[in-house]
């Protein structure tokens, strides 16, 4: 059985109108997601705007999410940081706070050599908390190929990969060449991933539509193609937005449309042009009212 199975939501961080972290709303968001059937929570990822937080804020966000989950679902903490020493400290904090695991990028500040990436994960591994290696070759300079993951999987605590390359063939190759579990990391492969063996999905749009996300993933894992395809096509225009650099603004606006506002994004992320919001509204209406044609 997979350790991190099902739909894990990479949760947004709510902010007040003055850009303070809204910890009360964060707790409410965790409760709402759990009540709607999600399998796990992933705070302090890029969708959670971790890079805009002070160390004190980031630590409190992690602690708040773990406290809110209260053992009902696992919490997998984003551990990205500019140096290996800092990343190790965030993994240790996650462990000390009661997290079930961490989502760990390779070194993020420059294009590291292979032995530097291996040494980075070796240092994280030594903390003793399960690791979901995060492959995001679009935004960072390392591609954790299946062959590379086979090397990392030799570390006892590297147990899974968040696969964000966008190439569905990677799922087959990772499963064939490693003993890692695969968690799809981009929303617009949320149907194809589980059909081809992914056991988890670290998701974005389900911040706003958790029930629909859980239903889709379960239908796909069960091989119910007709039902899964119908739901997937409704959600796909929104899912494409998860792969955009403006995903944080887009998903926070989706949450507003869903009746669960979580405040603004922190600069340098600013409000989107009105035309973009119009596209999100149209896609959201299409997702929740399937009889309307998509634009």
Q: What is the pLDDT of residue 293?
A: 45
List pLDDT tens digits, range 233-276: 999 999 999 989 999 999 999 999 999 999 999 999 999 999 99
DSSP secondary structure string, 15-31? Answer: B-TTS-B-HHHHHHHHH
Does residue 294 surpass a pLDDT of 50?
Answer: no
List pLDDT tens digits, range 265-286: 999 999 999 999 999 999 999 9
Question: Looking at 8, 121, 162, 286, which residue is catalytic?
Answer: 162
List pLDDT tens digits, range 42-78: 999 999 999 999 999 999 999 999 999 999 999 999 9
Q: What is the pLDDT of residue 1?
A: 65
CA 165 from chain center: how many Å? 14
Q: What is the pLDDT of residue 91?
A: 98
Angle at 259 between CA 257 and CA 261, to 5 degrees: 85
In degrees and rounded to multiples of 5, residue 142 shows phi and psi of -120, 135
Does 154 qualify as catalytic in the annotation?
no
Instruction: Using pLDDT thresholds of 50, 70 and 90, give the confidence band for residue 109.
Output: confident
Query: What pTM was estimated for this model as a whole?
Result: 0.96
Mean of pLDDT values over 23-41: 98
Q: What is the pLDDT of residue 139?
A: 82
DSSP secondary structure string, 197-260? Answer: T--EEEESGGGT-HHHHHHHHHHHHTT-HHHHHHHHHHHHHHHHHHTSTTHHHHHHHHHHHTT-
pLDDT above 70 coverage of the chain, percent: 97
Does 252 qualify as catalytic in the annotation?
no
Question: Looking at 8, 134, 232, 286, which residue is catalytic?
Answer: 134
* CB-based burial, 135-174: b 16+ in 10 Å, e otherwise: bbeeebebebbbebbbbbbebebbbbbbbbbeeeebbebb
Better-scored residue on pLDDT, 15 or 292: 15
List pLDDT tens digits, range 134-188: 998 888 889 999 999 999 999 999 999 999 999 999 999 999 999 999 999 999 9
Q: What is the pLDDT of residue 140?
A: 84
Does residue 295 surpass a pLDDT of 90?
Answer: no
Q: What is the pLDDT of residue 138?
A: 85
């Amino acid at each position: 059985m997979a350790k991190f199975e099902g739909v894990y939501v990479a949760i947004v961080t709510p902010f007040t109108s003055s850009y303070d972290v809204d910890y009360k709303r964060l707790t409410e968001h965790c409760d709402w997601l759990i009540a709607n059937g999600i399998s796990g929570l992933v705070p302090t990822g890029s969708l959670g705007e971790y890079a805009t937080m002070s160390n004190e804020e980031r630590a409190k966000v992690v602690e708040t999410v773990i406290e809110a989950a209260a053992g009902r679902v696992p919490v997998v903490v984003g551990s990205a940081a500019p140096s290996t020493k800092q990343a190790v400290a965030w993994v240790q904090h996650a462990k000390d706070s009661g997290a079930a695991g961490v989502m760990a990028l390779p070194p993020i500040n420059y294009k590291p050599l292979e032995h530097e990436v291996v040494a980075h994960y070796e240092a994280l591994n030594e903390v003793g908390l399960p690791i979901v290696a995060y492959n995001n070759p679009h935004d960072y300079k390392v591609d954790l190929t299946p062959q590379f993951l086979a090397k990392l999987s030799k570390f006892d605590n590297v147990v899974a990969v968040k696969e964000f390359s966008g190439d569905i063939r990677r799922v087959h190759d990772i499963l064939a060449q490693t003993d890692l579990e695969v968690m799809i990391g981009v929303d617009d492969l949320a149907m194809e991933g589980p059909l081809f063996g992914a056991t988890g999905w670290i998701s974005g749009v389900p911040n706003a539509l958790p029930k629909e996300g859980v239903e889709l993933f379960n239908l796909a894992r069960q091989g119910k193609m007709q039902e899964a395809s119908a739901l997937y096509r409704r959600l796909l225009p929104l899912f494409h937005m998860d792969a955009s650099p403006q995903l944080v603004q887009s998903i926070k606006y989706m949450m507003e449309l869903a009746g669960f506002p979580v405040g603004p994004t922190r600069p340098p992320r600013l409000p989107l042009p009105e035309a973009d919001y119009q596209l999100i509204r149209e896609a959201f209406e299409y997702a929740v009212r399937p009889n309307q044609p998509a634009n």
